[in-house]
Amino acid sequence: MESASDYHLMKALLDWQVELGATEAIGDVPVNRYEVPEKAEKPVVAQPVAAATPEVKVDAVAEAREMAANAQDLDGLRAAMGVFDHCELKRGARNLVFADGNPSARVMIIGEAPGRDEDREGRPFVGRAGQLLDRMLAAIDMDRKAAEADRAVYITNVLPWRPPQNRDPKPEEIAMLLPFVVRHVALVKPQVVVLMGNISCQAGLGKRGITRLRGNWTEAYGTPCLPMFHPAYLLRSPHAKREAWADLLELQARLRGV
């Protein structure tokens, strides 16, 4: 039997080891740290991480082209545009602005993009610029509401959704939605296309510079076309109304000669 003095001695030695920083008790069996095990453990080989599946990039222009080509009439084209989800403008717009007027008209007017009023009503050219357009057309005895094809006009835009803050459409937005415009013209089959503004000329002719292009007959979408100032530009620049009037007379003369 151990004496009390042995107990207190051993406890004092243990406390001394703790003060020196010892955290583990020495085992009863000595361990040879230099001994090589008979069978080395097989190293664990890390398995390669599977490569992430590459994201398939959608060709929005090709999809728009296919959807437009499958539209057999104007209702089908409008439905196709309504389900086309690759244009970000759609997410910020209230309405799809498709067209207005008589689809049997000899004249098809292609504007740029909807503004605030057009976005609210879902029809093109209904704001101040649209009211000016109606007065311009009335000056040569034409009306979007006319039932007779000779007096009627059919109106649409390059873009069916309003860009935020009425900014200019981006080139990729124009390219993405151009197949729908091409099909739109093909379904309406107008005798004359009027390209109103720089964006419309960029889409139909591949060029800008409306002050240089206006009043000169050319061809777009396989149809004779006349570039003209956009009515919104005329509201900002009244001095250009003289040229706009000359272009209207040129359009009227062309229709009388067709």
Domain that holds residue 132: 60-257
* pLDDT grade for 250, boundaries at 50, 70 and 90: very high
* pLDDT grade for 211, boundaries at 50, 70 and 90: very high
pTM of the predicted structure, to 2 decimals: 0.78
Is residue 53 in a domain?
A: no
Is residue 48 in a domain?
A: no
| Candidate from 7-16, 32-41, 245-254 with smallest mean pLDDT | 32-41
Instruction: Report the number of distinct structural domains present in the chain.
Output: 1
Residue with the bigger pLDDT between 44 and 122: it is 122
Q: What is the 3-state secondary structure (H, E, C) of the chain?
A: CCCHHHHHHHHHHHHHHHHCCCCCCCCCCCCCCCCCCCCCCCCCCCCCCCCCCCCCCCCHHHHHHHHHHHCCCHHHHHHHHHHCCCCCHHHHCCCCCCCEECCCCCEEEEECCCCHHHHHHCCCCCCHHHHHHHHHHHCCCCECCCCCCCCEEEEEECCCCCCHHHCCCCHHHHHHHHHHHHHHHHHHCCCEEEEECHHHHHHHHCCCCHHHHCCCCEEECCEEEEEECCHHHHHHCHHHHHHHHHHHHHHHHHHHHC
Is residue 253 in a domain?
A: yes
Is residue 2 in a domain?
A: no
* pLDDT grade for 133, boundaries at 50, 70 and 90: very high
Residue with the bigger pLDDT between 188 and 39: it is 188
Is residue 168 in a domain?
A: yes
Residue range 83-119, pLDDT digits in tens: 999 999 999 999 999 999 999 999 999 999 999 999 9
Is residue 221 in a domain?
A: yes
Which CATH number goes with the domain that contains 250?
Answer: 3.40.470.10
Is residue 44 in a domain?
A: no
Is residue 18 in a domain?
A: no
- Whether residue 12 is predicted with pLDDT greater than 80 in this model: the reply is no
